[in-house]
Amino acid sequence: MARDHGHTLVAYSPLAGGEILDDPLLSEIAADHDTSTAAVCLAWAAAQEPVVPIPKTSGGHLRANFEATELTLTDDDLGRIADYDERLRAVDPDPAPWNQ
């Protein structure tokens, strides 16, 4: 729907606060491409057009995150990630903080 209207979405917490960086499937795909799990996550998010992944980062991680722009995941990689469902909820906001 966003694409139909010319909108771009910004991914909120594309690295899930670091919670997914030790994930076995993502680590395996990263090893296959000789890159980091973070780069795999960011490349996957970028492949979900019109999504732009903009993770909060430090100077030390900026170069590593840039690797994602040079990584092309295969259709098999994209499919394996899309079919992988761990039901991880890394961001769990209080839906009604004013009720406390």
pLDDT tens for 19-42 read 889 999 999 999 999 999 999 999
Residues linked to residue 52 through DSSP beta bridges, in sequence order? 10
| Residue whose tokens read 């469902």 | 85
Q: Tell me, what amino acid is at 95?
A: P
**DSSP state at residue 81:** H
**DSSP state at residue 11:** E
**DSSP state at residue 22:** T
How many whole angstroms separate alpha carbon 5 and alpha carbon 30? 34
What is the pTM for the complete model shown? 0.77
- What does the pLDDT look like over 48-70, one tens digit per residue? 887 777 766 777 777 777 888 89
Residue 64 and residue 36 in contact, taking contact as beta carbons nearer than 8 Å: yes
